[in-house]
Structure 1
Amino acid sequence: MSVYLDHAATTTLSAEAMAVLIRELGRTGNPSSLHGSGRRARRAVEDAREAIAAAAGAHPSEVIFTSGGTEADNLAVKGLFWARRSENPDRRRILCSAVEHHAVLDAVEWLEKHEGAEVSWLPVDGAGVIDLDVLKTELERTPESIALVTVMWANNEVGSLQPIREIVELSHAAGVPVHSDAVQAFGSVPVDFKAIGLDAMSISGHKIGGPVGVGALLLGRAVKLTPVQHGGGQERDVRSGTLDTASIAAFAAAAGAVAGSLQTESVRIGGLRNRLIDGVRAAVPEAVLRGAPCAGRLPGNAHFTFPGCEGDSLLFLLDLAGVESSTGSACTAGVPRPSHVLLAMGLDEETARGAQRFTLGHASKGSDVDALLAALPGAYQRARQAGMAGHESTIQTAATVARQASGSS
């Protein structure tokens, strides 16, 4: 049985969410219908809206259900840009951190290519944390031309937490709304939409023990947003489409569970992470921890670069040993692409290609860490022997390493 250390990608369905999901899947009713079954479904959705709002520090009317974090990010970034530009055609600038998830990054680049947006990429330091002085300078430069600021709450690769409160204060002083992708932060660290003062915030169900395919955009009641899709006018006329009652209810159950145990689970998972980091450093002294210090990163995140090897090769070898992890990098059409996050942090391409991300979640145990530490030294040595991929495809190289390690031809 494999040990799962990729909870940042998706985590296991919680018992609370599973029970609610099964219950709701056995029922019928469109929450927009007026008959009894529809009204029952509507009650389930509105109860879920209240539960998620309570867990995220928002008013229930500020919860807009979506199909997940990617849709929530696109709705926020595109919707805010279009609404702000509609009010003032000069508002074309977007201030965006250089380490955003591709759901934000690609949406911003699409607006730049197709909608005439002008993008200012906000740099980060070696820990992946935004430079507030640069943000302040950008905000002071023709603030009336800025449509929005978008900065993630916590990075999905290296786990670094951003100074969201300061970002909001600086941006609001310049009259600019702020969106934050809080998909990784929600359920892992305290998140309070109202207290922080964000205008829009994205969250997702499957990162906290809910089902895949459901998320939410928290949107301030006074914030104007142009819809990305049109139809029946559900969700404040912002996000049309029949609501998935079962998934929404299960999402709420997961949110309630993580909110109720956030403090104790953060301490427990953070302790496992610290033991993992210490163990990796002892097992492979060459490994370098990337991201902010433990006090400034997600409790379940441990991201390393391993010199002299391909991250994908190490991933395949760990997988063969029964340990599932992630590189955090993308590979398109067989062409290796180092992580844009690590490059923005100042790493060179060769170093960035040796990345490995280990992430813990609510189902993680001490034995998971033990399994990784037992498998890692041998896997690293084999990956290092294979060396960097050079001109060969990363995936082909990793597959070759895996076959050799398993003794197949």
Structure 2
Amino acid sequence: MTRVYLDHNATTMLRPEARAAMIAAMDVCGNPSSVHGEGRAAKALVERARAQVSSAFGADGADIVFTSGSTEGALLACGDQKLHGSALEHDAVRSWISEDLPVSHNGAVTVEQPNRTALQLANSETGILQILPQGLAVSDATQAFGKLPIAFNWLGVTRALISAHKLGGPKGTGAVVLKRGTELATQIKGGGQEMGRRGGTENVIGIAGFGAASEAAARDLADGVWERVEALRNMLEQALVAGTQNTIFVGQSVPRLPNTLCFATPGWKGETQVMQMDLAGYAISAGSACSSGKVRGSAVLTAMGYDEITAQSAIRVSLGPETSESDVLRFADTWLAKEKTYRARVA
């Protein structure tokens, strides 16, 4: 059975460019903090990656602080502030939120104090995009980076979170992007690496892969790869809408990530659908991968006003550059057949 991977919002396949950069970095033995030739060679790899990430994210003039991923990035970006936010945020950011903001049925968050607010750019479960107010304190741009033509310098954000493995880089590497001049309380103290903002020897191999993946992702955007992905997402959505009557499609009327489709058939639990589709050869998700295994319904859908039964029935299909027309059409046929079986069983 040929498997089809449709869970790109959880993680992506490693890009060949990232793999090549990481393999090359493995042969560089120096510590980036050392002043000898070997250390300077390692430091050069880190700085090259910093420039690649900065260029791809439109962050010229900003500070790029490499971390172990967006979860550590949230600690670094949010840990010294009391922030407002909503239930839509990833748990890594939500841990730092002291006051919940209202969310509309279409997933829009009402922000009154941007300089004290964390607001994601794109939701990982629904794909719904937010309009970021100028002066926003923190934005989790993890899902949007590499999929949308965005630039940190015109987002008007003070601190942003990004992660390598969401755009074809390695797991365990990310960054906090800071508006130049932003004060940041160091959370991991040590030898003063990353401009004194994050102690610990840099993950040179992972950082090299992050830089190469960022550069390749920027080329994909320029080449229209994500426009093709969006067309496939729309094709899949249309096939499912035509074949089912009671399924709810989330975010259809508002801007979304080009690859993301979230839908719920009330009463047919999302975790059951994930297992059934997995056995049929398709990798999909019920909510955020970090929350998989939890029986409770999607906190995101609950915050948007959906009832608990619907929230427990939601699944997410997220496409990638490798996804083909055949993949989405076969998925639609398979899912609709299983949905028909479910309907017959509960009738």
TM-score, normalised by the number of residues in structure 2: 0.94
Question: Which sits farther off after the overlay, 26-35 or 314-323?
Answer: 26-35
User: Shift in Å at residue 247 of structure 1?
Assistant: 0.9
- Structure 2 gaps of 5+ residues are none
Any idea what SS the aligned residue of 2:116 has?
A: strand
Give the Å deviation of 1:383: 4.5
Corresponding residue to 1:106 among 95, 110, 125 = 95
Matched, 1:200 2:159: yes
2:199 equivalent to 1:240 = yes
Q: Cα RMSD between the aligned structures?
A: 2.0
- Aligned residue for 1:405? none
Letter in 1 for 2:273: L
Question: Counterparts of 2:291 and 2:245 in 1: how far apart (Å)?
Answer: 31
| Aligned CA distance change for structure 1 residues 237 and 331 (closer, same or farther; 3 Å) | closer
- Show structure 1 runs of 5+ residues with no match: 82-92, 109-118, 140-145, 388-409
Q: Greater CA radius of gyration, 1 or 2?
A: 1
Q: Name the CA distance, whole Å, in 2 between partners of 1:356 and 1:223.
A: 39
Q: Structure 1 residue runs of 4+, over 3 Å off?
A: 329-335, 381-387
Paired letter, 1:10 = T
> What is the deviation of 1:384?
5.0
The one of 121, 138, 149 aligned to 2:117? 149
The equivalences for 1:166-181 within 5 A come to 167-168=133-134, 172=135, 178-181=137-140
Q: Distance in 2 between matches of 1:332 and 1:10?
A: 14
**1:20-64 superposed Cα distances (whole Å, 9 cap, x missing partner):** 112212332211112211110100110110111011111365100
* Aligned-partner Cα distance in 2 for 1:51–1:333: 33
Which residue in 2 is equivalent to 1:268? 228
Match of 1:143 in 2: none
In 2 relative to 1, CA 319–228 (structure 1 residues): closer, same or farther, beyond 3 Å? same
Name the one with the larger helix percent. Answer: 1
Name the structure 2 match of 1:121.
Answer: 100
Instruction: Give 1:94's aligned residue.
Output: 83
Q: Which residue of 2 aligns with 1:252?
A: 211
Which residue matches 1:25?
26
Q: CA-to-partner distance for each residue in 1:333-387, whole Å, 9 max, x for gaps?
A: 9761111100000001011111010001122111210221121122224455676
Aligned counterpart, 2:245 = 285
Offset, 1:94: 2.0
Contact 2:58 / 2:151 at 8 angstroms: preserved in 1?
yes
**Equivalent-residue separation in structure 2 for 1:96 and 1:220 (angstroms):** 20
Cα drift, residue 284 of structure 1:
2.2
Structure 1 residues 154, 240: CA separation in 2 closer, same or farther (over 3 Å shift)?
same
Q: How many residues align?
A: 344
| CA displacement, residues 243-295 of structure 1 (integer Å, 9 cap, x when unaligned) | 1111111111110111122140121111010001001112223221112536x
